[in-house]
Structure 1
């Protein structure tokens, strides 16, 4: 058990920001926390923390060690919960990541509902369009859209999304409605981070290179430009559905619309899925529209 000595103390110092606060959380003396952390650094042969009279700073190796230790301690907590038959009461840290726009509009409210239902959880949501390393950075779950890359992670399809190409009635009245993919060449296509739009033709997927006067990495900005008659756009349903229903936007090239894409939950492989992750997966699958 010597390898575990000092781990809880080190994690507490990192999370509380000081030896004194860590000691208060663990209900032990500050001197004991300091001794245990020093002994841990001695066993590892590296500096985990820089100490000054004013603050404690975690070293680069200390950050790596902290993330791994945090995962290990979380695993021990989940094991204790399973053994004591408390697996239906999620508690502890729950870290997940999701794309920015979809996360703000859809995932964050659902996660807030989940947190209200289970107040013993400590929830952290990181909104980013980068695909983070869940294992290395200590995330329990990621929500991802569209096609998945091959990986060793587990994947659960939560729901589906539909990609629409659409424009405002004013734009289509002025420039005409395209009826074939080749006609996109003469239209102002408002682009996000990709130059290709995704379609299906003759039962096969087809990507079409498009161009236009506006490129922006915000779907909401592209939607605003489309509503103002600047051009055509290809966006997922959660951006445009209400405007298609109201008539503020008109869907075009519907015969070439690609089959619905998946909304996925990705999580590290574990033999026993923790209660908090399992219940969150169920919550998201039930709440999201278009669930398969």
Structure 2
């Protein structure tokens, strides 16, 4: 009765027989054979197959929805029986990078693991925008504006950006009064070479250039404090240095306010209880 159902759901989730086979660590022919036998038993075609792609039939789509609901109920029942509702356990893989993740997110995840010691956490600090599904991550912490509709993005904290330079740098260079004047300055670049600004409620990008580039904010901060140029950094990183007079903020009236740190995770109907619990924990901590 249950034969082929797992294979069918994996094909639905991953969009191909090949990817389903990789996820289940079996051969593609095994997946294809199991799905074919399932269709024969049901007397219905679940997938439309072409040489390039597969897609669910209307019957297959309705069947998948019902099966996912049944499987989730089965997982919840097993969790409750095994005590995982009280003691979640297993591995959670997290992708993130930067000062905010290291100093603000990681300590909250540590609290979670101390509360649930049977949970294992693998945190990968990498500025690369990883493919969560393809690379097997449960969730990620990302900064900026979320545009990927294939992922669920929940805001953790607003991150207001500001331009900063040292008094030493400004003593030897003119102070910019508009974003366009940044073309005349040495700009210390984190990721892209375009910075966003608010011109009378219209967001525009300004191209910048400079002789120092780093994907780590502390490296940019060090170069800025040394008088190398102008940097575009989050206020929580530079505030103490501004208050001490080591840095000066620039063009405050042009700064955008739509950046944030986000908790991002795939759209999964069957999410492990431990991952759901960590998501709820982080959202509650940052809302507080």
TM-score normalised over the length of structure 1: 0.68
Moved more, 196-205 or 263-272: 263-272
Question: Which residue among 176, 194, 208 is the counterpart of 2:174?
Answer: 176
The CA distance in 2 between the partners of 1:287 and 1:250, in whole Å, is: 32
Matches of residues 207-218 of structure 1 in structure 2 within 5 Å?
207-218=205-216
Q: 1:244 to 1:281 in 2, by over 3 A?
A: farther
Note the C-alpha offset of 1:120.
1.0
Matches of residues 18-167 of structure 1 in structure 2 within 5 Å?
44=30, 80-82=78-80, 86-167=84-165
In the alignment, what sits opposite 1:264? 262
Moved more, 188-197 or 101-110: 101-110
The CA distance in 2 between the partners of 1:134 and 1:191, in whole Å, is: 26
CA RMSD of aligned residues (A): 3.1
Note the C-alpha offset of 1:225.
0.6
Note the C-alpha offset of 1:230.
1.1
Confirm or deny: 8 A CA contact 1:181 1:253 kept in the other structure: yes
Question: Which residue among 228, 242, 245 is the counterpart of 2:243?
Answer: 245
Note the C-alpha offset of 1:177.
2.4
Confirm or deny: 8 A CA contact 2:88 2:118 kept in the other structure: yes
The CA distance in 1 between the partners of 2:150 and 2:210, in whole Å, is: 38
Note the C-alpha offset of 1:246.
2.5
Note the C-alpha offset of 1:215.
2.2
The CA distance in 2 between the partners of 1:146 and 1:189, in whole Å, is: 19
Q: 1:212 to 1:270 in 2, by over 3 A?
A: closer
TM-score normalised over the length of structure 2: 0.69
Listed as ranges, the gaps of 5+ residues in structure 2 are 6-25, 32-71
Note the C-alpha offset of 1:205.
1.0
Q: Determine helix, strand or coil for the equivalent of 1:207.
A: strand
The CA distance in 2 between the partners of 1:208 and 1:143, in whole Å, is: 26
Confirm or deny: 8 A CA contact 1:98 1:107 kept in the other structure: no
Q: 1:189 to 1:90 in 2, by over 3 A?
A: same
Aligned residues: 229
Note the C-alpha offset of 1:88.
4.3
